[in-house]
Every structure is written in C-alpha cells, then in structure tokens.
Copies of this chain bind each other. A is one copy, B any other.
Amino acid sequence: MTQGRPRAFDGETALEQALLAFWQHGYDATSITVLTEAMGINASSLYAAFGDKRSLFTAAVRRYLQGPARFTTMALEGAPTAREAVERLLRAAAVTYTAPGHPPGCLVISAATNCTPGSLDVQAELRDIRAQGRQALTQRITAGIVAREMPPETDAHALAAFYAATLQGMSGLARDGSTHAELDHVATAALAAWPG
C-alpha cells in the first residue's frame, strides 16, 4: 500500500489557529480566507483535512473544551463543597477569560451569538454545551444541599442560573476589555450572594 505525499503542516497546530480565529470573531464572521491565513494552509488542504467549515468549527470546539475550558469540569468535580466548587469556577474563569495568548472571554458563550439563518445549528451546538454546563452546576449545588452544606430550602436551579449568568457576564466584560482584577472582584461579589 503506497503512502502518498505527506502533509506540509501539523494538523494540531492548524486546528489551534482555527480555534483562536473562531474564538475571536465567532463562527459566521470568520471567513475561510481568514482561516486559511491563520492556519497557514490553502483552502484545498483545509477541506481535505477537516471536511468543511462546519466540521472544522466542531473540531475547534472539542479542542476548546479539552483545553482552555477544562477548568469548568475540574472546578465542579474537584472541590470538596459546592461553595468551594463555585468559587473555583468563578476564580478560574476570571483568570482564563483574561489570559494572554488567546482572545478574551469564552468561546462557547460568544462564538455563535449573531447567526445567519443558515447557521442556526451552530448556535444550537453551543447552546447545548451551555445547557450541559448549567446542568452540571445545578447537580453540584444539589449535591451540596443534600450534604447539608446549605439550607434545605435552597433553590438549586435558581442559584445555578445566577452563577451561569455571572459566568456569561464575566465573559462579556472580558471581551469589553476588563482586566483579571476586575473579573475577580465580580467573582467575589457574586460569591457574597451564596445562601446560608
């Protein structure tokens, strides 16, 4: 079985560059031309390696979830209490949303806000991920209530919605140019709303 001409680029680094482009401008606003220039490859190579723009975006999202967004699951699963989990979540978000080396804010929150009718499925893809994250947050809070860390009448869904809103807001502030210190203050203020 013959082998054929080898690739002139590394697929992982090319995908990383595509991720950064999508992260900055969002799905619709990132053209194939911008992608090929960022990835350092031609359109033919892009389509041969990643299928089409839609598939490339999904691959970039998967890379994002396993990379920069790892802190979300780490915070929710690694903390001893629900309160500690939420605090780690917000503090880590303040760091990641303003970290150098990549665009500010969260890709899952901001990359498919303005969608053309032809790419509503992209919007749905990210919304599903947000819904999963919010459900995980709700479950972690519920576990804290069951463990009697907070009053039994605590509304886990409402509290999860509040901290999900805080995360979305922090992402928006970061995109508007807020610093890590500002976002950390927002996290501190939000944690002051913890029940009990």
A190 within 8 A of B: yes
- When chains A and B are docked, how far (Å) is the Cα of A161 from the Cα of B182? 7
Mask of A163-196 contacts with B, CB within 8 angstroms, 1/0: 0111111101101101000100110111111010
B115 touches A25 (CB 8 A): yes
Segment touching B, from A26-34, A58-66, A70-78: A26-34
Query: Which residues of B have CB within 8 Å of A114?
Result: 25-29, 110-115
Contacts of A127 in B (CB 8 A): 176
Enumerate chain B residues within 8 angstroms of A162, measured Cβ to Cβ: 185-186, 189-190
Cα separation A157 to B158 with both chains bound (whole Å):
26
CA distance A72 to B131 in the complex (A): 28
Contact of A169 among B31, B159, B165 (CB under 8 A): B165
User: In chain B, what residue has the closest Cβ to A191?
Assistant: B193
Contacts A166-B165, A169-B166, A176-B131 given; does A29 touch B185 at CB 8 Å: no
Centre residue among A112, A130, A170, A190 by max chain B CB count within 10 A: A190
- 6 tightest A-B contacts by CB? A165-B169, A26-B114, A158-B185, A162-B189, A169-B169, A113-B113
Given contacts A161-B173, A172-B172, 9 further A-B contacts (CB under 8 A): A27-B114, A28-B114, A29-B116, A34-B117, A109-B172, A110-B114, A162-B190, A169-B172, A190-B190
